[in-house]
Amino acid sequence: MSMQIDIQTITQILNTHTNLSNQNIKNISTDSRTIDKGDIFIAIKGDLFDGHHYVKDVFEKGAVLAIVEHLIEDADPNKQIVVRDSLDAYGKIGSYIRQQFKGTVIGLTGSAGKTTTKEEIKFILSQFGKVYATKGNHNNFVGVPESLCQLDMSADFAVIEMGMSAKGEILRLSSYVKPDIALITNVYPMHIEFFESLKDIACAKAEIFEGLKKNGTAIINSDTNFADILIDKAKEKTNHILLFGQTHQPNVFFETQDTGLHHLYNAWATLRVVQALGLDASKAASYIKDFGALDGRGKKHTLNLSPKETYTLIDDSYSGQPEAMKLAIESLNKMPSKGRKIALLGKMAELGNLSKQKHLEIGQILSQTNIDIVIGVCPEMKDMLACLPKHIRQYYFETYEGVCDFLLNQLLQNEDILLIKGARYSSKLYKVAEELIKKGN
């Protein structure tokens, strides 16, 4: 059940006016392709597109109103509301809708594992009530308002993910979300090229607490970088702080479906949310084992090489963040296997002047494992490969192209385990994973 909102309310939220007669709005969207009769279109200008080019089109599709940053001359001026910043207008509308929501809002951010943790929270809370959550990883200035505008007003809980690449972004998003519970999964050198230091990233993540509702709860990973800063920032806003980590574990027994320390952290964070809500943590813990890894985020696939031969693909191709890559490698290292262990690793992006150091660190970690074969993709991975001892066989590819054919026709054998991990848009290893899955099913 979506929020009922009308044109008059929209103008009040945006402190503007229109000569249009009042009517209820069916949907609010920034995507001209999805616009239908009775909808509002918000024209967003992005790096690759400008929604203002489609205002005339959306009116022809039946849109009743367009929110724009400048009047479009060949479209009905009476159906246009001009604002200084259409993204901010989208956020304000989302914020208004969130304030009408009667359930509990859980907001989360972090350098890695946000989407998986969000999905695990959604899965566990669904055992206690109706849950609405951010779709996929729609966690930016477009995705968060979208999530709020589409809020299911009949839900008991809403789980909203927030992402960032610069200072001030979480502050703005949290002001829209106004979480009752604010969770930080971790602080790693993600987007470090946009910050002077890792400490600055921690401070930027801590901006989530600025939007925390009065008497709200902060949940913090006590083992992460600059946890002390996160805790101090939370204390400025609330007395209700819960920690999770290796010495701050919820006092309940649970099992995870997948091995790896990151799965424990996701579970600990989820159980802290359950405890913050005053729900039965033992009941929640009993469902942890039923939550599996997501597509591209560590999901395991048993794929066919031939009618009698199979191998295991661990598709962790969504993110190439350094700490997450280390955890994935350590998890592969600990896995029991009858066949060989193979790591297909792509470059790690947005590391600035730390790039070489971080790629070398991955190579040093690999050299201490029982992994049999390492394949590096992209020039940055040459530093990693140079660290490997002779007993680890290595291969190098400039790009992802040709890697799938190499794996299937020359390398993979029965009962091998193949891990794929790398920066999604920089290394494009997800395309290798997709092709392997398609051909191996």
Q: What is the full per-residue pLDDT of the chain (441 aa) written as tens digits?
A: 677 899 999 999 999 988 889 999 989 999 999 999 999 999 999 888 899 999 999 999 999 999 999 999 999 999 999 999 999 999 999 999 999 999 999 999 998 889 899 999 999 999 999 999 999 888 898 999 999 999 999 999 999 999 988 899 999 999 999 999 999 999 987 666 667 788 999 999 999 999 999 999 999 999 999 999 999 999 999 999 999 999 999 899 999 987 778 889 999 999 999 999 999 999 999 999 999 877 777 888 999 998 899 999 999 888 778 888 998 999 899 988 899 999 999 988 878 888 899 999 999 999 999 999 999 999 999 999 999 999 999 999 999 999 999 999 999 999 999 999 988 878 899 999 999 999 988
Residues of the chain with CATH 3.90.190.20: 299-440
CB burial class (10 A; 0-12, 13-18, 19+) of residue 94?
Answer: buried
CATH 3.40.1190.10-classified regions of the chain? 101-290
Fold (CATH) for 101-290: UDP-N-acetylmuramoyl-L-alanine:D-glutamate ligase (3.40.1190)
Per CATH, the homologous superfamily of domain 5-84 is MurE/MurF, N-terminal domain (3.40.1390.10)
Please tell me the predicted confidence (pLDDT) of residue 350: 76
Q: Does domain 299-440 have CATH number 3.30.930.10?
A: no
Give the pLDDT confidence score for residue 298 in this predicted structure: 82
